[in-house]
Structure 1
Amino acid sequence: MSQLIVDIHTHVYPPSYMAMLRARKTVPYIHDPSDGAEPRLIILSSDDDPATPLDQRGRPVDTSYSDINVKLSFMEKHGINCSVISLANPWLDFVPSDEAQTWAERINDDLESTCADVNKDKEKKPLFAFGALPLSAPSETVVNEIKRLTTLPHIRGVIMGTSGLGKGLDDPDLDPIWKVLEETQLVLFLHPHYGLPDEAFGGPEVINRYGHVLPLALGFPLETTIAVTRMLLSRVFDRFTKLQILLAHSGGTLPFLAGRIESCILHERKFIANGGDTPGPERSIWEVLQTNIFLDAVIYGSAGLQAAVAAGSHDRLMFGTDHPFFPPLHDEDEKWPSVTTNYQAICSCFGDEKADSIGMVLGNNANRVLRLGLE
């Protein structure tokens, strides 16, 4: 093998999950048009405007979302040697509490068996997975599922949205989950879904005018930034100093705003260190970025990637594609711009004189951090 390339940000909706979405009529759901047109996936509340015809809501969903062979073909086309697949948003957040454990076990067993079946064939690219969590259930149920995931050979971490158990990631009820993740050293892949309120962009009319640009380009990154900053402020990283988190989309705006966040903390009069009565974070955001946080390289430009490197380091970045989202809109045979721009950003950020750094970001970091055992 020449250059190892590992895709750590690549999603799949197992058939059982697709069936569940098809049975629903409220977000999230899949609409199958009666005229035989392509089904539509509606997972964002901003996509479910009653004024928009059903067959125009959300995004078209094809077999790339659920057929693992399409995933493998995508990997072959783009030179990817290994993928770490994960259930895409909104995961199991919407599942009733009394059904969450059953669905988590079903989805995670599906992911495990998919990886096991593919990896039996040495001619195919190997797969690993991040497990899904039953976050609508009590925290002890989530803890038990995390412990069970450590017994599944191809699970290398877990994926979670920013709502946690429903109250955000500064919720003290999440402490048992942080504790078991720290103890098992399973990496938490933190991914946005909820974005910002429509009003932040000017209301539904403005969002509809520009499609997905505002909620995805701005809402998702800011959601991640806010969620992690709330973790920092609530001293999660002080209590769980060995917690390991992988942030989607290069951490949103966190690397760029880290200095501003730290300055505001240092000047906040409410915190005990500054004469107030509220405990503030003891560890700096810089220390957390360099010891607790990994970033994917799904940023589509060298400027953002340079900020990610400056905030952490090149040995804490990992390549990703966000497949099957953002496919080419025209020629199906061409390579995906959403992938090639990430390749280009990595090469541009480091240059030929830093080939070792490029290699670390493209695959060697993931191989080391996620214990993939690739040669």
Structure 2
Amino acid sequence: MTLFRYRILSDGALARGEIEAASPQEAVLQLQKRGAMVLGLTPARGGRLLSIGAGGPALRRSELAEVMRELTSLLGAGQDLDAALRLAAEEAPSRRVAAVMRRVHDSVRSGSALAIAMQREPKSFPRLCIGLVRAGEAGGDLAGTLARLADLLERQRSLAANLQAAMIYPAVLLVAAGGSIVLLLTQVLPQFVPLFAENGVALPASTAFLLGLGQAVADYGIYALITLVALAILVNRLLQRPGARLVADRLFLRLPIIGSLAREVVAARFARTLGMLLINGVPLLAALSVTEDVLGNLAARTAVKAAAETAKTGHGMTRALAAAGLFPPRLLHLLRLGEETAQLGPLALRGADMLEERTRLGLQRLVALLVPAITILMGAAVAGIISSLLLAMLSLNDIAQ
């Protein structure tokens, strides 16, 4: 038998302790039989965090939303949970989805609750999903909970897709602009060097600078690219450390334009997740713990963790969130009002709606500014190169006359 330390979510509260078991899987099963959600499991004598999930393929976020919507439709049509899971596995769009749903179906048929069956597939079902399903089963409204969960997942996917789509065109334009300038410097300008050398033309300073720059790019560009890639790998590894990641995430959220937009995205995700958990009956401390996991920014996660510690003392969470300086004042006002009127869940969702709309408008304005800005800068750079070349050609013409 081996002694394991565990971290679980039980009856809406976080708990830690130790348990003896022959293997990590057996320890997890013992904790799940108590109705607990296993968050972490480590050997009592130290070591790395042990995997608590089943192997095999995992669901993508888009597939997870579709599965939740399918289960909602089947349960709403009068099917029981066993039949709904079986049909979801049979009608799955891919083998990967079918494999996951068959494992969930087998767990439910063996007597496990749906939340516990999903908990055995942590790569496919995040804590947010498991927490909502557990609350839905406890409240007797599983179909309604799954419908709201599907809406939440689709909103998150839509917001992420909008962010990615908004950045594609500026990124492509930036790459095209950079490639055009490099092509002019390394391929076009050098064609005129023999002409100038044969006629003994004294090149203007701007032309000489651009020719030198082009030669440097041609000679050392590949080494510079390799250095940048190596630097990116080094920075990525450095950011794996919590301290460095926390500093980087805080700095990112403080950037002038991008940082402001990122803060609204993080705040919208926080408010949407928290509100959805609360209106489905999840206690505040458990909801904050789950919400912390869905925030990708470590600075925001630290702020939410501090808010949870403040809420434990009965002083509310809004003061700690405001002290972090990361969340918009309007959202903080709504959350403070929600705490005072016992309407925290609905008001958090109202704040999420407001922030998501502001994010959408902010993205539109950002793209509207980026595209002409990149175009103007590209035009100015190309015009500068052509002007320098024309100055040298004029000097050559003066000598000919």
TM-score by length of 2: 0.26
- Of structures 1 and 2, the larger Rg is shown by 2
TM-score by length of 1: 0.27
* Richer in helix (by share): 2
